[in-house]
């Protein structure tokens, strides 16, 4: 049983949490959404500076909320990759400093491994093997979780990540940042069959299409062309219908790939993780498809889908329980396969 203090600063949330194995004792998230919102996306330099200002108060708040002290902490963890380098460095430097100061082991965690572990916090009985559909602002991956810490990447995206596509289309429709939740809200008032849009496919050199890989650039361009055409014709933009049609196309294509992959590999449990797993259409399609094919499906609650430090702490606790720690020389990396 390990109690971990973890820090997550890979993008635009300063997050600190204290977790005992799969049980959250405190989870603090200081969002920078308002700061970056005016620019329509994350400004890396501003993110790092904001993390610096917020990190110490967040650590103090995590301890106060968990009502415990350093004596009860077994290790200090931080996200080391992938992410914005300057932003990652703030969290990693803070974690290493605390580890040295309080004589605790340091555990560096891969951000995507954290997203996978988020599901263990909401469903502690979940055990590998399972197939994880990991859809976030930076990733669209189908990861076969064979055992704790043993992963095989079965599918990915050839261009934009799913969340990135949501964010770009939202900007196109004037829905603001972050785009995913804005499109989800607008889509609730729209007709998802209003505009038939192309589902991106990845061609194989030997012919046919990759069954698990995604592509979103064609879909994004199709929405752009549609918007340009409607504007040229002086027609009012049917924002809600466009949002609903786009969201429906993404959800359908992601679920199709996930189910095909699970059936091909004989995997009976599916986990949806990452920010886009909060999407209502994706959840509805996944629910229906898994029911139809007699598969089990797990998704963390919305608060654990998007970036948080509790998921990083949970992954670190598992590593520490298995005797794994990281060197204090471990650096940050903007890109790193899981």
Positions in the binding site for ligand KG4 (CB under 6 A): 11, 136-138, 163, 166-167, 178-181, 184, 274-276, 278-279, 306-307
In whole angstroms, the minimum distance from the beta carbon of 175 to ligand KG4 comes to 10
CA distance 116 to 145: 9
When asked if residue 167 is in the footprint of Zn ion (CB under 5 A), the reply is: no
Binding residue per annotation — 213? no
Report how far apart, in Å, the C-alpha atoms of 90 and of each of 7, 54, 79, 96, 259 are: 9, 10, 10, 10, 39
Binding residue per annotation — 279? yes
Give which of 17, 14, 65 is closest to 42, Cα–Cα: 14
Binding residue per annotation — 321? no
Which is nearer to ligand KG4, 92 or 98 (by Cβ)? 92
Binding residue per annotation — 176? no
Half-sphere exposure of 235 (CA within 13 A, CB side): 9
**Burial, 49: exposed, middle or buried (Cβ in 10 Å; 0-12, 13-18, 19+)?**
middle
In whole angstroms, the minimum distance from the beta carbon of 11 to ligand KG4 comes to 6
CA distance 92 to 95: 5
When asked if residue 248 is in the footprint of Zn ion (CB under 5 A), the reply is: no
Binding residue per annotation — 65? no
In DSSP terms, which residues pair with 152 in a beta bridge? 144
In whole angstroms, the minimum distance from the beta carbon of 275 to ligand KG4 comes to 2
Q: What share of the chain is helix, strand, coil (3-state, %, to 5)?
A: 45, 20, 35
Residue corresponding to tokens 């050839």: 158
Q: Tell which one of 307, 314, 315, 338 touches Zn ion (CB under 5 A).
A: 307
Binding residue per annotation — 75? no
Binds 114: which of ligand KG4, Zn ion, none (CB < 5-8 Å by kind): none
Q: For 303, which DSSP code?
A: H
When asked if residue 213 is in the footprint of Zn ion (CB under 5 A), the reply is: no
Binding residue per annotation — 184? yes
Binds 318: which of ligand KG4, Zn ion, none (CB < 5-8 Å by kind): none
Under a CB-based contact definition with an 8 Å cutoff, are residues 208 and 191 in contact? no
Give which of 170, 203, 200 is closest to 187, Cα–Cα: 170
Q: For 276, which DSSP code?
A: G
In whole angstroms, the minimum distance from the beta carbon of 300 to ligand KG4 comes to 11
Half-sphere exposure of 233 (CA within 13 A, CB side): 9
Which is nearer to ligand KG4, 20 or 283 (by Cβ)? 283
In whole angstroms, the minimum distance from the beta carbon of 182 to ligand KG4 comes to 8
When asked if residue 136 is in the footprint of Zn ion (CB under 5 A), the reply is: yes
Binds 278: which of ligand KG4, Zn ion, none (CB < 5-8 Å by kind): ligand KG4
- The annotation places the binding site for Fe cation at 111, 115, 307
Residues in contact with Zn ion by the rule CB under 5 A: 136, 307
């Amino acid at each position: 049983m390990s109690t971990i203090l973890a820090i997550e600063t890979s993008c635009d949330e300063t997050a600190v949490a204290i977790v005992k194995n799969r049980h959250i004792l405190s989870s603090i998230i200081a969002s920078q959404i308002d700061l970056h919102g005016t620019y329509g996306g994350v400004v890396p330099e501003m993110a790092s500076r904001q993390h610096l200002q917020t990190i110490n108060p967040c650590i103090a708040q995590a301890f106060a909320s968990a009502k415990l002290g350093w004596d009860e902490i077994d290790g200090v963890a931080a996200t080391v990759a992938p992410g914005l380098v300057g932003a990652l460095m703030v969290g990693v430097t803070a974690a290493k400093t605390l580890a040295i100061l309080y004589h605790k082991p340091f555990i560096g965690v891969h951000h995507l491994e954290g997203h996978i572990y988020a599901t263990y916090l909401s469903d502690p009985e979940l055990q590998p093997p399972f197939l994880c559909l990991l859809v976030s602002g930076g990733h669209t991956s189908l990861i076969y979780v064979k055992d704790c810490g043993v992963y095989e990447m079965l599918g990915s995206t050839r261009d934009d990540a799913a969340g990135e596509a949501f964010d770009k289309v939202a900007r196109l429709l004037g829905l603001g940042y972050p785009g995913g939740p804005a499109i989800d809200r607008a889509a609730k008032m729209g007709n998802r069959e209003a505009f038939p849009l192309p589902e991106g496919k990845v061609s194989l050199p030997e012919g046919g299409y990759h069954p698990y890989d995604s592509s979103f650039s064609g879909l994004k361009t199709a929405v752009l062309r549609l918007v340009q055409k409607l504007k040229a014709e002086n027609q009012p933009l049917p924002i809600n219908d466009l949002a609903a049609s786009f969201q429906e196309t993404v959800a359908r294509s992601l679920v199709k790939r996930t189910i095909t992959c699970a059936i091909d590999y004989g995997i009976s449990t599916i986990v949806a993780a990452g920010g886009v797993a909060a999407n209502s259409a994706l959840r509805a399609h996944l629910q229906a498809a898994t029911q139809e094919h007699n598969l089990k499906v797990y998704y963390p609650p919305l608060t654990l889908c998007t970036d948080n430090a509790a998921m990083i702490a949970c992954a670190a606790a598992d590593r520490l329980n298995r005797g794994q720690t990281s060197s204090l020389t471990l650096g940050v990396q903007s890109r790193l396969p899981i």
